[in-house]
Structure 1
Amino acid sequence: MTYCVGMVLDKGLVLMSDTRTNSGVDNISVFRKMFTWEVPGERIISIMTAGNLATTQAVISHLEERTRAPDERDNVLLKAPTMFRAATAIGRLLRTTIAETQETNGQRGQGRFTASMIVAGQIKGMEPRLFLIYPEGNFIEAGADTPFFQVGETKYGRPIIIRGYDRAMSLEDATKLLMVSFDSTLKANLSVGLPLDLLVIERDSFTASHQKRIGQDDAYFQSISKMWGEALKNAFHSLPDYSFYRQD
């Protein structure tokens, strides 16, 4: 399984993904799920993937080939005039890849090879944008009502983000919020695991303002995990006691 989150803020975008893939308790591997392309001073686009690994790797490989293609019209990541057009092309490629894989493997109509993606980035002269692309190739865009997207094991970390998110928060606080969300998910589900990949895109920077891989030995993440656990226990004990005998 996996867990990926993309968040849009007034100050930019913050993305985080885990790297665990598994097909059983005795077959666990690490694969990167976050991929980024830049044209310095002009654009940055990042994709996070969830779902069938062969499908997502095929999509990413096709996109990588297109960035090196001699025909500039095919360079969707580097030449698309808007983020919307980039998301449309990526969605179309995802849908086609899933359909071809299912047909090749005799699985047409079944969901074994499905995948979804979060696409984030900014093109010069435009706003930072965030999209969630479904296996069918269609997508939705983050807005005021839905300022962040999750894919994979979303249920454990979602309450943390809902309670803590503020569009005006700093990029540093947003990073801290995502670390708490991921820590809660790691504690609850073995199919999500370290290391984590972090990408921060400051508005109008058109580059990775901060990028990091967070492993088992990361001191800051360890402190976040420990202090968050202690804070939850203290908050619980500070709540009013319940009594079987008290009548209100």
Structure 2
Amino acid sequence: MTYCVGMLLDKGLVMMSDTRTNAGIDNVSTFRKMFQWSVPGERVIAVMTAGNLATTQSVISQLEERNKAPSERHNSLLEAPTMFQVATQVGKLLNDTIVAQKAESGQASTDMFHASIIVAGQIAGMEPRLFLIYPEGNFIEASFDTPYFQIGETKYGRPILVRGYSSDMSFEDAVKLLMVSFDSTIKANLSVGLPLDLLVIERDKFEPLHQRRITADDPYFRAVSAGWGEALRRAFHELPDFTFGQ
């Protein structure tokens, strides 16, 4: 399992993912779930993956044409005319990969190959866009009513986003909000863990404004984690006391 969040703001896009994968409690590994490509001045595209690792790695490998020599590789996402077409290409590739793996293994169900993907980015002359792609290859787009997407282990970090998100918040506040959401998830579920990958894309800049790997000894993450825990305890004790009726 994993946890990834893509967030659409007035100022641009903020994305964060963990890096933990596991096939049982005695087989835990670290793999990158966030990938980004850019053409300075023209486009920036980012992808985050959750689900079956073989499926998601196959999708990324095919996007980057890793089966070819570096000089011959061609990422078609860098030539798609719109972000909608980018999402369409990724969705088709995801579904084709799942179907192919199912046929190869002889499995009747696609559940063991289940995966989902968040696609975000901006192409010059168009708005920043954010998509959630399902295993079947279809997708939905972020909007005013649904301004962020989560994939993976979503339930523990969602209440933080619901209460704290605002479309006009600063990038700095958005990162802080995501830090709290991820800290809450990590505390509650061992299948999500550090390090985390962070990517900030500013509107009309077409290259990452900020990208960073957040490790267990990151001083800001540690301060947020400790501060949030203390703030929750303080807020709890400040609530009205419950009394048993006479």
Q: Same fold (TM over 0.5)?
A: yes
- The separation in 2 between residues aligned to 1:175 and 1:42, in whole angstroms, is 25
Following TM superposition, by how much is the alpha carbon of 1:70 offset from its aligned partner in structure 2, in angstroms? 6.2
- The separation in 2 between residues aligned to 1:217 and 1:130, in whole angstroms, is 31
Any stretches of 5+ residues in structure 1 without a counterpart?
none
Following TM superposition, by how much is the alpha carbon of 1:75 offset from its aligned partner in structure 2, in angstroms? 4.0
Correspondence list, 1:117-128, <5 A: 117-128=117-128
- The separation in 1 between residues aligned to 2:71 and 2:81, in whole angstroms, is 17
Q: Check the 8 A contact 1:69/1:75 in 2, yes or no.
A: no
2:189 matched residue in structure 1 = 189
Give the partner amino acid of 2:207: T
3-state secondary structure, aligned to 1:159: helix
- The separation in 2 between residues aligned to 1:75 and 1:35, in whole angstroms, is 13
1:237 matched residue in structure 2 = 237
1:151 matched residue in structure 2 = 151
3-state secondary structure, aligned to 2:113: coil
Q: Check the 8 A contact 2:98/2:110 in 1, yes or no.
A: no
Higher alpha-carbon deviation: 79-88 or 57-66: 57-66
1:213 matched residue in structure 2 = 213
Q: Check the 8 A contact 2:64/2:75 in 1, yes or no.
A: no
2:139 matched residue in structure 1 = 139
Q: Check the 8 A contact 1:116/1:134 in 2, yes or no.
A: yes
- The separation in 1 between residues aligned to 2:126 and 2:149, in whole angstroms, is 20
1:167 matched residue in structure 2 = 167
3-state secondary structure, aligned to 2:65: helix
RMSD: 1.5
Q: What TM-score, normalized to structure 1?
A: 0.95
- The separation in 2 between residues aligned to 1:165 and 1:155, in whole angstroms, is 16
Moved over 2 A (4+): 66-71
Deviations 1:137-185 (A, max 9, x none): 0000000110000000000000000000000000110000000000000
2:93 counterpart of 1:87: no
Higher alpha-carbon deviation: 59-68 or 139-148: 59-68
Following TM superposition, by how much is the alpha carbon of 1:110 offset from its aligned partner in structure 2, in angstroms? 3.4
1:233 and 1:3, CA in 2 relative to 1: closer, same or farther beyond 3 A?
same
Following TM superposition, by how much is the alpha carbon of 1:69 offset from its aligned partner in structure 2, in angstroms? 8.6
Q: Check the 8 A contact 1:43/1:121 in 2, yes or no.
A: yes
Number of aligned residues: 244
Q: Check the 8 A contact 2:99/2:110 in 1, yes or no.
A: no
- The separation in 2 between residues aligned to 1:4 and 1:125, in whole angstroms, is 28
Q: Check the 8 A contact 1:39/1:78 in 2, yes or no.
A: yes
3-state secondary structure, aligned to 1:223: helix
3-state secondary structure, aligned to 1:178: helix
3-state secondary structure, aligned to 2:112: coil
Deviations 1:115-149 (A, max 9, x none): 10000000000000000000000000000110000
1:96 matched residue in structure 2 = 96
2:199 counterpart of 1:204: no
Deviations 1:37-88 (A, max 9, x none): 00011000000000000000000000001897969xx742110000000000
Q: Check the 8 A contact 1:99/1:108 in 2, yes or no.
A: no
Q: What TM-score, normalized to structure 2?
A: 0.96
Q: Check the 8 A contact 1:165/1:174 in 2, yes or no.
A: yes
